[in-house]
Structure 1
Amino acid sequence: MSPQGGQYLNKAAVFSSLGAARLSQLALGCSVVAMVSHSAGYSGGSYGVFCMAVWCACFGMTTVVFFLDATRLHACLPVSWDNLTVAFAALATLILGGYPVYFVRAECPYGGCEVRNFRIAVTVCSIAGSLAYGAEVILSRAKPGRVVGYMATVSGLLKVVQGFVACIIFGALANGTEYSRHVATIYCVVVYAVCFAMTTVVVILTVSGRTGCLKLPFDRFVVVYTLLAVLLYLSASVVWPVFCFDRKYGSPERPSSCPRGRCPWDSKVVVAVFSFVNLALYVADLVYSQRIRFVTQQPRV
């Protein structure tokens, strides 16, 4: 073996704070997948299957990230590695921290209390995994005097959260919100779709390292797009509640005959609440995006 062979392995992938966070992600992800497969009864419904798919995807992606980082093979990929890893870690933090809570039931399901106990253990490990991914985000995020990718900045991380919140809105829209009854609510859906698509484009361009293909400077493009998203979400946040909860168009109170979990009125409330959440996120994004633009324009000393 060549005495220089050691340089091909990245010891920092293991013996560092970031390496420890990823090893914790692997251990917790493996534990979750094993317990769910063993006796958590995930196949009892579509939601359980979805959770299992998310756990497997996160565990698989973390395995690939750890392997490529340890072997330095990520340098062969046509992507911006730092942007890719922090964007994935931020998304995994959000997904693993929220979905498993709905996977747990206080009562014992058909499989007995053993299934419930396994589900509790799975939820605990999944939330711990979310914290491990959150630790990676904190370790990778932008700090004063440190050069990092766009996704490691506050603005970049907010892009991931905005996309996640938009997915929650789409899920509620698909749960019988009856948005097609009014042109105004259809407009709101178009707003959600356009903003989500543009946010996705920004993330893809950043992760793939193709921001240079834009005709505008990337920082200016982000500011212009975010301002447009703020205006669109502001209009949707006003129009949606009016046409869903005003007595002229909808119902301001929850119908007593509406079934729990399948009530269009509940879905409309979810859309309204998360519309305001995303509006606040885009406003915060605009502030930080403008700040980044000013910093990049400072003259050299």
Structure 2
Amino acid sequence: MPVIVLEARDFTSPLFLVRTWAVLSGCTTFSLVASLDHSALNQPNLSQDRFRIFCMFIWCFFFTITLLIHILSVIQFHSLIPISWKNLTMTVAVLGTLMCFSASVVFPWIIMDHQKLSTLSVAAAVASCLTFLAYTLESYVLCTQAHEQRGYMGSVPGLLKTLQLWGGCQMIPLVVEAIEEASVTSTNREASWQPWISSVSYSICILMSLVTLVVILGDLAGRCFLPFDRFLAGFSLIGVLLYMVATVICFTKILQLTDPRQLNQDKRAQLVIIETVVASITLLAYTVDFAFSIKLLCDRSHA
């Protein structure tokens, strides 16, 4: 089978240029961070080391998948892959935007938490911001295409589902940190169970988001034994309920910050505030998505 390559004008298209930018800046970012001396990242601090690994995973993962998408787009082999290409590219672009934004916020927080700053660490933070900007432009280019070209994940419900997945991913290092801190510093048995309840809620929501994403990318909606829009409505309702519980727990943690018996207040306050903000945003995304699902079901019932 002959290899079909893009025409010359396609190599100067906005989509090709921003993907090239995303690949180059992503590679630069994790290369700079990997070359940093361990002391420059405050390695004895296990919390910061955990978030550094999380940032490295984001840069490496999206660099790899964007490079594969870029290569397949150039040689025009994506039609041979049994997935919805338009939904895949939109999901990677939007999720890459959100995840790289998180890394661009977390990594400077890590390197600015100690007195000594190196040139490489500052350069890595700048490169991460450039990577975030590249994915933002790619998302904009894809969203300006026709609805048939951007697929379901380019619609408002699809973007909300990407936002839900982003929120769940942000909770992974936060919950791990909260569980570890509760097992060490908490003297209240009820408070020690709070991170476990939150982790169960977040895990269920992440699993539902991944199942939804697999069904959409694999074009498997027609194979479900029930209408897929009802599944989406049910998943959204479960997400609303679980994140309501998690958000209440987060605000309870904020009230517990006034307890003078709690150790390491500054660090704990930062993590609790971050978790509360992300949980509130994700709860809003599930609520709006549930409203869209109910509206769609009502429209179909009256049709």
TM above 0.5, one fold? yes
Structure 1 residue aligned with 2:46: none
Q: What are the ranges of 5 or more consecutive residues in structure 1 without an aligned counterpart?
A: none
Q: Is the 8 A contact 2:143 2:154 kept in 1?
A: yes
TM, length-normalised to structure 2: 0.77
Match of 1:90 among 87, 94, 97: 94
Structure 2 residue aligned with 1:124: 126
Match of 1:15 among 9, 12, 21: 12
Q: Distance in 1 between matches of 2:302 and 2:82?
A: 31
Within-5 A mapping of 1:27-176? 27-38=24-35, 45=43, 46=49, 47-104=51-108, 105-106=111-112, 109=116, 116-141=118-143, 146=148, 148-176=150-178
Q: CA deviation at 1:22?
A: 0.6
Q: Does structure 1 residue 214 correspond to structure 2 residue 224?
A: yes
Match of 1:278 among 278, 282, 303: 282
Q: Distance in 1 between matches of 2:20 and 2:72?
A: 14
Q: Distance in 2 between matches of 1:147 and 1:295?
A: 24
Considering fraction of residues, name the structure with more helix. 2
Structure 1 residue aligned with 2:240: 230
Q: Is the 8 A contact 1:82 1:148 kept in 2?
A: yes
After superposition, the CA RMSD in angstroms is 3.4
Q: Distance in 1 between matches of 2:26 and 2:127?
A: 8
Structure index of larger Rg: 1
User: Deviations for 1:245-293, whole angstroms, at most 9, x for unmatched residues?
Assistant: 66xxxx3515376225653x65444444433222111112223444556
Q: CA deviation at 1:144?
A: 6.8
Q: Is the 8 A contact 2:233 2:293 kept in 1?
A: yes
Q: Distance in 2 between matches of 1:54 and 1:36?
A: 12
Q: Does structure 1 residue 182 correspond to structure 2 residue 190?
A: yes
Q: CA deviation at 1:61?
A: 1.7
Structure 2 residue aligned with 1:259: 264
CA, structure 1 residues 233+125, in 2 after alignment: closer, same or farther (shift >3 Å)?
Answer: same
User: Deviations for 1:63-82, whole angstroms, at most 9, x for unmatched residues?
Assistant: 11111011111111121111
Q: Distance in 1 between matches of 2:82 and 2:264?
A: 50
Q: Distance in 1 between matches of 2:291 and 2:227?
A: 18
CA, structure 1 residues 288+24, in 2 after alignment: closer, same or farther (shift >3 Å)?
Answer: farther
Q: Distance in 2 between matches of 1:34 and 1:268?
A: 31
Q: What are the ranges of 5 or more consecutive residues in structure 2 without an aligned counterpart?
A: 44-48
CA, structure 1 residues 131+254, in 2 after alignment: closer, same or farther (shift >3 Å)?
Answer: farther
Q: Distance in 2 between matches of 1:134 and 1:254?
A: 41
Q: Which amino acid in 1 is paired with 2:205?
A: C
CA, structure 1 residues 79+189, in 2 after alignment: closer, same or farther (shift >3 Å)?
Answer: same
Q: How many equivalent residue pairs?
A: 284
Q: Is the 8 A contact 1:90 1:137 kept in 2?
A: yes
Q: CA deviation at 1:122?
A: 1.8
Match of 1:287 among 275, 288, 291: 291
